[in-house]
Amino acid sequence: MINREDKYQVKAKNGVVDFGIFMHDHRVRMSENRGYGSDGDVNRVPSYPFAGEWLDDMNTKTVFLDTATVDYGDLDFASLEKTGPLVKYDVTLPEQMQARLRGAAVAVTNKCVFDEGLMRACPALRLIAVTATGYNNIDIDAASRLGIAVANVPGYSTSSVAQFTLACILALATRLVDYDAAARDGRWTRSLIYTLGTWPTFELEGKVLGVMGMGAIGSEVARLAGAFGMRIIALGREGVKYDGGWERVGLNDLAERSDFICIHLPLSPMSRGIIGAEFLSRMKRTAFVVNMARGPIVDQAALNQALRSGRIAGAALDVLEEEPPPEDEPLLSAPNCIITPHIAWASVESRRRLVEEVATNIAAFLRGEARNRVT
C-alpha cells in the first residue's frame, strides 16, 4: 500500500526522469541502457576489491527504497530479510534518499536515481541491488570510482514478457478489445442478427512475425508464435553470423515483409527512433507494431500519424516515451492501438523470481562473491 504522503509519479521522456509530488518537480539526467530484451552477463566482473574491515563491522543493513514498484500486496520478502536487517519504503522521493540510506550497506531499488553526489553522501553504502535488468538510473562510472558494487537481475521476466507479447498479437488479430467493448456498450444488444461482424478478424497461421532483438525474450516470442504457425524473420546486420536458425534480414526487408513487428531491443543511440516515419511507410497497410521494450525506440508522433491515416493497421504498446503519459498523449486515442501501463514484465511469478534473485545477489556480495555484477 502506498501511503498518501509518499504518493508520487515518475515521468520519463528523452532520457530524463521527473519525480513529482504535488507541486514539486525534480529532474535527473540518465544514461541510455538496456531494457526487457537485453541479455545480461551474469559474471562480467570476475572479482571485487571487498572491504574486509566493513565485513568485520557486520553491517548488513539493507534499505529497499521503492517496494511499491515490485510488490502489489502479493510478495514475501523473507529471502531479503535473511540477508540482514531490512528496512522497506513503498516509495522514496529524491530528497528523502540520503536520510533513508544513512548507515545502510545495501540499497535495493527499481527506479530511484543514484548520482555521484548521493553516493558520496552515503559512505556506508557498498552495494546497489537493482530490482530490474536495466540500470540506467545509476551513475555506473561514479559507482565504480567510489567502490560501490551494482548488481542487476537479467532474464527474470522472459516468460512474462513473451506471454504478454503473444496476448497482444492475439488481441490485435481478433479485435478482442473492440468486440468486448461492443458487447458491453449495447452495440451487440442492438444487432439485428445474432452476432457482430464490424471488425474482420484473421488467423495467425502463415503470417510473418518480424522480431527486432532476438535475445532471450525475442527468441521465446518466436517459439510461441511458431506454435501458431507464424513464419519468423529477425533483424540482422550484414556480415554478422547468428545462431538460432532464424532467417535474418535488414531493416527495410523486415518492415516490408512482416505482418507483425515485435520490438525487444535495448534502448541505445542506434535503436532510439528506429521505428520512425520511413520504417512505417515501408510496412504493409495490414501490418502491426508491437513494442514491449522501451518507448523511445518508436517515434510516437510518426506512429500516431500512421495509425490515424491508415498507413498501418494497428499497434500494441506496453511502453511509452513518457511514463506515465500525459492526459493529452495522442496515442491514447489513436485507432486500434492497445496501450498498457508498462506491465508486461510483472506477472506474480516474474516478480517473485526478481525478489529471490536480488536476495541471492545480496547474499553473494556479503560472501565476497561477484554475481550479476555491473560494477
Instruction: Determine whether 285 is an active site residue.
Output: no
Q: Is 342 a catalytic residue?
A: yes
> What is the residue whose three cell numbers read 541505445?
268
Angle between helices 158-174 and 216-227 (to 10 degrees): 40
DSSP 47-66: -----HHHHHHT---EEES-
**Is 329 labeled as catalytic in the residue annotation?**
no
**117 in Cβ contact with 315 (< 8 Å):** no
Q: Which of 26, 102, 257, 342 is catalytic?
A: 342
In the chain, the amino acid numbered 45 is V
User: Which of 32, 256, 322, 323 is labelled catalytic?
Assistant: 323
Task: Find the farthest-apart pair of alpha carbons in the chain and give their distance in angstroms, rounded.
Answer: 80
Whether 296 contacts 152, CB under 8 Å = no
For every residue of 271-307, DSSP letters joined together read: TTT-BSHHHHHHS-TT-EEEE-S-GGGB-HHHHHHHH
Which position among 34, 100, 272, 294 bears the catalytic label?
Answer: 294
Q: How far apart are CA 365 and CA 36, in angstroms?
A: 24
Catalytic residue numbers read 294, 323, 342
